[in-house]
């Protein structure tokens, strides 16, 4: 099916800005912007040639009168509990929206398919909001491509693959590389990364930072998918530093190392990469060496950038630095 012609399409065809197309469509003469008669005619000719039809909601969005920011999460439940991994993102979004004088619209009526929500469906209500903020560990690539192609104003919280996808993400690769550097300074030369390493961009970035740092230093590095044999395989290779992708597993890993007669950090150092993304089953150790994801700031900046896009700014891709937490689970390599 052919997609609907947008104001952005008309702007590209005629070589003018989208704001100019909007002024011509709405016949605005009180804007203080003078549009040359030949430019106005060129835009009107393109509108007639393409059969462009402006919907009522689209006109309201162009005037930015709604002042509503949509929030959509691909997780099946909205992050309402303070302990939820996604809750600080929503707090940052809410704080910035309040400062901007905008309301938030949480898209909760979208259907759940295979355990995940779907943004596009028969009763799509996205156009009730000026734009949409996307939350979730992984986002459907087909829906991302459609958002870009149809010119929907949106911002993803978290880095996403795609040249034209606007996002505010965390610099996971740089943070992991910095933690590997701390371990190298303490004499570690044999490393193990336990985690999926993908396909979510946040996990792929962590693994890439680990692999690049170890390769650059010329040290031994292994990647083990999570599972019951991961620790045994790492210990068989005489690893002295373990980087754990899912912090919720830290307590179980320390317990299992103790059962095998290894002390943390006396025999093996442990580094966790961020915050738990799911509930912790057993006791969670305190003062673990890790990095802290700037979740609240990411939400705050996502709301800020979405309003910039709605106001005509070009979509951008931003990565925020993570804060390192020294902790007590990284020590000098055992002699």
Confidence of residue 2 (pLDDT cuts 50, 70, 90): very low
**How many folded domains does the chain comprise?**
3
Output the average pLDDT for the chain.
86
Considering only residues 63 and 17, tell me which one the structure prediction assigns the higher pLDDT. 17
Considering only residues 179 and 36, tell me which one the structure prediction assigns the higher pLDDT. 179
Taking the C-alpha atoms of residue 305 and residue 311, their distance in angstroms, rounded to an integer, is 10
Confidence of residue 312 (pLDDT cuts 50, 70, 90): confident
Task: Give the relative orientation of helices 7-14 and 18-25 as an angle to the nearest 10 degrees.
Answer: 110
Whether 55 shows a pLDDT value over 60: the answer reads no
Find the largest Cα–Cα distance for the chain: 83
CATH number where 245 lies = 3.40.50.2300
| Residue found under tokens 């690769």 | 173
| Residue found under tokens 């909007």 | 22
Q: How many CB atoms lie within 10 A of CB 263?
A: 12
Considering only residues 103 and 286, tell me which one the structure prediction assigns the higher pLDDT. 103
Show the tokens assigned to 6. Answer: 């947008």
pLDDT tens, position by position, 86-108: 899 999 999 999 888 888 998 87
Looking at the structure, do residues 164 and 179 belong to the same domain, yes or no? Answer: no
Cis, bond preceding 106 (omega within 30 deg of 0): no
Considering only residues 287 and 242, tell me which one the structure prediction assigns the higher pLDDT. 242
Confidence of residue 122 (pLDDT cuts 50, 70, 90): low
Looking at the structure, do residues 282 and 300 belong to the same domain, yes or no? Answer: no
138: DSSP letter: S
Considering only residues 138 and 122, tell me which one the structure prediction assigns the higher pLDDT. 138
Cis, bond preceding 242 (omega within 30 deg of 0): no
Share of residues in the chain with pLDDT > 90 (%): 52
Looking at the structure, do residues 301 and 166 belong to the same domain, yes or no? Answer: yes
* Side-chain-side CA neighbours of residue 61 (13 Å): 25
- Which residues make beta-bridge pairs with 113? 116
Whether 188 shows a pLDDT value over 80: the answer reads yes
pLDDT at residue number 318? 96
Looking at the structure, do residues 77 and 151 belong to the same domain, yes or no? Answer: yes
pLDDT at residue number 173? 98
Task: Give the relative orientation of helices 7-14 and 37-50 as an angle to the nearest 10 degrees.
Answer: 120
> What SS3 state is found at 275?
coil
Taking the C-alpha atoms of residue 325 and residue 335, their distance in angstroms, rounded to an integer, is 25
Sheet holding 190-194, edge to edge: 220-224, 190-194, 241-244, 269-272, 289-292, 323-325
Confidence of residue 53 (pLDDT cuts 50, 70, 90): low
Whether 59 shows a pLDDT value over 70: the answer reads no
pLDDT tens, position by position, 135-156: 988 788 888 998 998 888 999 9
Show the tokens assigned to 202. Answer: 């946040």
| Residue found under tokens 């949409």 | 132
DSSP 233-259: HHHHTT--EEEES-GGGHHHHHHHHHH
- For the purposes of burial, counting CB atoms within 10 Å of the CB of 259, is it exposed (0-12), middle (13-18) or buried (19 or more)? exposed
pLDDT at residue number 220? 98
Looking at the structure, do residues 145 and 178 belong to the same domain, yes or no? Answer: no
Flag whether 331 is in a domain. no
Flag whether 61 is in a domain. no
Taking the C-alpha atoms of residue 72 and residue 108, their distance in angstroms, rounded to an integer, is 8
Mean pLDDT on 241-270:
94
pLDDT tens, position by position, 199-232: 999 999 999 999 999 999 999 999 999 988 999 9
pLDDT at residue number 160? 94
CB 305 within 8 Å of CB 155: yes
Strand pairing category for 116-117 and 112-113? antiparallel
Confidence of residue 329 (pLDDT cuts 50, 70, 90): very high
Looking at the structure, do residues 71 and 148 belong to the same domain, yes or no? Answer: yes
Looking at the structure, do residues 305 and 281 belong to the same domain, yes or no? Answer: no
pLDDT at residue number 23? 78
CATH number where 30 lies = 1.10.260.40
Looking at the structure, do residues 113 and 83 belong to the same domain, yes or no? Answer: yes
Q: pTM of the prediction?
A: 0.77
Looking at the structure, do residues 160 and 299 belong to the same domain, yes or no? Answer: yes
Host domain of residue 79: 66-170+295-322
CB 72 within 8 Å of CB 117: yes
Residue ranges of the alpha helices (H) in the chain?
A: 7-14, 18-25, 37-50, 56-62, 87-100, 141-149, 172-185, 201-217, 230-236, 250-259, 295-310
CB 249 within 8 Å of CB 212: no
Flag whether 187 is in a domain. yes
């Amino acid at each position: 099916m052919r997609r609907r012609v947008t104001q952005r399409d008309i702007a590209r065809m005629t070589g003018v800005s989208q704001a100019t197309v909007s002024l011509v469509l709405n016949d605005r003469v009180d804007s203080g912007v003078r549009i040359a008669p030949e430019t106005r005619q060129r835009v009107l000719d393109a509108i007639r040639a393409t059969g462009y039809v402006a919907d009522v909601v689209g006109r309201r969005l162009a005037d930015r009168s709604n002042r509503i920011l949509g929030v959509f999460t691909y997780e099946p439940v909205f992050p309402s509990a303070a302990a939820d991994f996604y809750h600080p993102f929503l707090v940052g979004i809410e704080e910035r929206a309040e400062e901007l004088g905008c309301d938030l619209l949480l898209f909760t009526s979208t259907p759940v398919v295979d355990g995940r929500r779907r943004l596009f469906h028969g009763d799509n209500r996205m156009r009730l909001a000026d734009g949409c903020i996307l939350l979730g560990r992984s986002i459907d690539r087909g829906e991302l491509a459609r958002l870009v192609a149809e010119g929907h104003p949106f911002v993803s919280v978290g880095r996403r693959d795609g040249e034209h996808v606007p996002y505010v993400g965390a610099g996971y690769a740089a943070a992991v590389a910095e933690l590997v550097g701390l371990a190298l300074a303490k004499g570690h030369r044999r490393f193990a990364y336990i985690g999926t390493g993908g396909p979510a961009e946040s996990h792929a970035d962590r693994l890439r930072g680990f692999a690049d740092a170890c390769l650059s230093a010329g040290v031994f590095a292994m990647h083990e998918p999570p599972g019951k044999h991961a620790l045994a395989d790492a210990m068989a290779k005489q690893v002295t530093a373990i980087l754990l992708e899912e912090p919720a597993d830290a307590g179980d890993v320390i317990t299992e190392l103790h059962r095998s007669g290894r002390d943390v950090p006396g025999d093996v150092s442990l580094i966790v990469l961020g915050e738990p993304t799911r509930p912790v089953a057993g006791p969670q150790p305190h003062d673990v060496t890790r990095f802290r994801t700037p979740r609240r700031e990411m939400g705050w900046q996502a709301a800020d950038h979405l309003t910039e896009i709605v106001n005509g700014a070009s979509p951008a891709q931003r990565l925020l630095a993570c804060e390192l937490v020294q902790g007590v689970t990284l020590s000098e390599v055992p002699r």
